[in-house]
Amino acid sequence: MQHYPDYPTRGILDLNGFWEFSWLGDAPWEGISPAAFRPRTVMAVPGVFDVLPSYGQRRGVGLYRKVFGDVFAVGERLRLAVDGMGLFGRIWFDGRHAGDCLLPYSGVRFDLDVRERGRHSLILAVDNRFDPERVPLFHPNYDFHAYGGIYRGVALHRLPACAVDRVQVIPLDLDAGTVRLKIALDGDFPETCPLSVAFDDGRPRHHELPVHAGRIELETRVPHCRVWSPEFPHLHTVEVAIPEDAVRERFGMRTIRTAGRDILLNGEPIELRGFNRHEAHPQLGPVQTPSQMLEDVQWLKSMGCNFVRCVHYPHDQAFLDLCDEMGLLVWAESLGWGNGAEELADPRFMDLQEQQTRLLVRNGVNHPSVILWAFLNEADSSSPQALPLYRRLTRAIREEDPSRLVSYASNRTTKDLCLDLVDVIALNGYPGWIGPVDWDTPSTAAIAPFTRRLTEFFSGDSPLADKPLIFSEIGACGLYGCHDLARSQWTEEYQADYMAAAAGAVLEDPRTRGVALWQFCDTRSYGPSGQVRTKPRGYNNAGVVDEYRRPKQAARAVADVFRARAANPQAGGRPATPTPLHEDPFPCPW
């Protein structure tokens, strides 16, 4: 489903569809090899096996196999692209181990070695069992379900001796339309390389440029440049061709930076209004169909959102493509949830965190919708042991992409030790819902004092007083179809009151610059034993739409708040060109 990057001249085998499948169950990992494969049935790719009737909620190992004819030459360069799997993966090609995937949800690549002619066999082992040695990045206590399977697309690239891998496009001057192109070559590259550059299917310009460590840099101008914004999501393409290969990337001309307490998009202050969103569906798990992604974006736009936080792992590049096209600003983050101090200081955990966070940035670097890179949701950032890893990750992100903002979602609030490292302070909290609760005080009455206490703490003499501040999580649950005149907890009425009060309290505070409510849709949440930890139905029911995208009363309540602010720049929304509600292309569907 991923549109970009596109390789117009390269031989690419689309491996999506049905693969042969063999279920090994809870077999010891040490004994698993290609010889263990016994073709018993088929499995869909993309797809997860533990939502299907035969393997529902089971944890173990599944082997996927794809067989090719005599189609590859000896010595030919092949690269397997897997855009996301979990929880652990191992790859064999023609019986030889080609690599492991310890990074759930990340888009990963594996080079395959063609040593002989004849039939070829590609086998992927996928294990959804929790194992701190093989899956150190995912724990049973995470508040979202851990699925087993291949979450996204799989393709096999046939590479020339020298290939062009990616082109990072960094906007420099919006008025002049200038950009810096960082071109990454792969394979046997020369000291100087002839290449052509073409924007938007225009005439190519030819260059002969030096290659340094496989990289070429070029500053140039985008003809007929148009600026990207949520109101006007104009997009450009650039195609870079070398003698044996080419890549086409899509990008947007926009800038994002901070100035004091403001977040500036294209030099203008912006208020972020949105939701947290998981990749989740009760029948598909984390697998996303194009129709489902489009439905989610239309729901978000209809509620007056201009922002979505993609939690708590790298999301499908196709969803980011859609946000580019429809003008939705994105917070993208790597995998992590509530990790403790001892874990944050573990060298192996630190290495894997850096690997997946760099991949997050490299894979999504040209999406104009992405304005924030983030990591380690609600980890123990109040511990001194956290500082080395937080420094390491913020440095890694800025090395990969200095053009965007860096943050992480903290629930350590006033005790956090790492917030000086980031560009935007992001706080999580659930006053009146999670944590100490005064049962004599209505939940909605607890919201404003909580948010005001935090905004006052990060004001005045605070060394962080001059940074933008947003609330990256705040919300409460409601069960779809549950109603009560008393508006009691778990009802749609209770949730609607809470969500509207939370959105209003955050956005009306002059210290804040945005909110991501928790959350967009209900999501499955339980560990290996089936225990739900106060999660009715085994779901986190804080969605304003349920798992099938049926709207709750909270959806309309939040839409009233968000759309009123979007229509009134003086209220703080400050859109570049407010769209009159009677001309809104995303009217509320109620």
Helices (H) and strands (E) in the chain, counts: 8, 34
Q: How many CA atoms within 13 Å lie on the side-chain side of 421?
A: 24
Q: Does 463 have pLDDT greater than 60?
A: yes
CATH architecture of 268-583: Alpha-Beta Barrel (3.20)
For 11-159, the fitting CATH number among 2.170.190.11, 2.60.120.260, 3.40.50.150, 3.90.420.10 is: 2.60.120.260
8 A C-beta contact, residue 3 and residue 250: yes
3-state secondary structure 102-151: CCCCCCEEEEEECCCCCCEEEEEEEECCCCCCCCCCCCCCCCCCCCCEEC
Mean pLDDT of all residues in the chain? 94
Residue type at position 340: G
At residue 582, the pLDDT reads: 42
Question: Is pLDDT of 267 > 90?
Answer: yes
Give residue-wise pLDDT tens across range 151-199. Answer: 999 999 999 999 999 999 999 999 999 999 999 999 999 999 999 999 9
**What SS3 state is found at 584?**
coil
Beta pairing class for 262-265 and 162-173: unpaired
Where are the chain's structural domains?
11-159, 162-254, 268-583
pLDDT band at residue 585 using 50, 70 and 90 as cut-offs: low
* Residue 533 scores a pLDDT above 70: no
Coil, strand or helix: which one is 81?
strand
- Residue 343 gets the label, from left (phi > 0), alpha (psi -120 to 50) or beta, of alpha
* Three-state SS annotation for 232-286: CECCEEEEEEECCEEEEEEECECCEEEECCEEEECCEECCEEEEEECCCCCCCCC
The pLDDT value recorded for residue 427 is 98
Which helix H or strand E contains 44, and what residues bound it?
strand 41-45
Model pLDDT for residues 430-451, shown as the tens digit of each residue: 999 987 777 788 999 999 999 9
User: Are 423 and 406 in contact, with CB atoms under 8 Å apart?
Assistant: yes
Other C-beta atoms closer than 10 Å to the C-beta of 70 total: 10
Residue 48: beta bridge partners?
149
**Residue 83: closest CA among 167, 20, 140, 15:** 15
HSE-CB of 482 using CA atoms within 13 angstroms: 17
What's the CA gap between 344 and 338, in Å, rounded? 10
Q: Is the dihedral of CA 211, 216, 217, 222 positive or negative?
A: positive
- Residues in contact with 524: Cβ distance below 8 Å, sequence separation at least 6, in sequence order: 144, 145, 280, 282, 285, 538, 539, 540, 547
The SS3 call for residue 375 is: coil
Both structure tokens of 509: 């505070």
Give one DSSP letter per residue of 273-320, joined into a string: EEEEE----TTTTT---HHHHHHHHHHHHHTT--EEEE-SSPPPHHHH
Residues 6+ apart with CB under 8 A from 371: 256, 263, 265, 329, 330, 331, 404, 405
Lowest mean pLDDT of 6-20, 310-324, 490-504, 524-538, name the range.
Answer: 524-538
Query: How far is it, in rounded angstroms, from Cα 470 to Cα 575?
Result: 18
- Residue 574: per-residue pLDDT: 47
pTM of the entire structure? Answer: 0.94
Q: What is the dihedral of CA 292, 294, 295, 300, to 10 degrees?
A: 130
Single-letter amino acid code for the residue at 164 = V
Distance spanning both ends of the chain, measured CA to CA: 31
Helices 347-364 and 387-400: angle between axes, nearest 10 degrees:
20
For residues 363-371, give the mean pLDDT.
98
Q: How far apart are CA 320 and CA 331, in angstroms?
A: 10
Looking at residue 590, its pLDDT comes to 66
How is the beta sheet containing 162-173 ordered, strand by strand? 162-173, 178-187, 215-221
What pLDDT score does 531 carry? 57
Asked if 217 and 207 count as a contact pair (C-beta separation under 8 A), the reply is no
Nearest to 180 by CA among 131, 220, 207: 220
Q: Distance (Å, rounded) from C-alpha 237 to C-alpha 300? A: 26
Neighbours of 108 (CB within 10 A): 22
The pLDDT score that the predictor gives to residue 581 is: 40
What b/e readout covers 27-43, taking b as 16+ CB neighbours within 10 angstroms? Answer: eebeebebeebeeeeeb
pLDDT digits (tens, 9 = 90+) for 301-316: 999 999 999 999 999 9
What would the pLDDT profile of 558-579 be if each residue is shown by its tens digit?
999 999 998 875 555 444 344 4
- Residues of the chain with pLDDT > 90, as a percent, come to 89
- Write down the residue that tokens 């010595």 correspond to: 75
Percent of the chain with pLDDT over 70: 95
For residues 47-56, give the mean pLDDT: 94
Superfamily grouping for domain 162-254: Immunoglobulins (2.60.40.10)
> Is residue 208's pLDDT more than 70?
yes
Does 333 score more than 50 pLDDT? yes
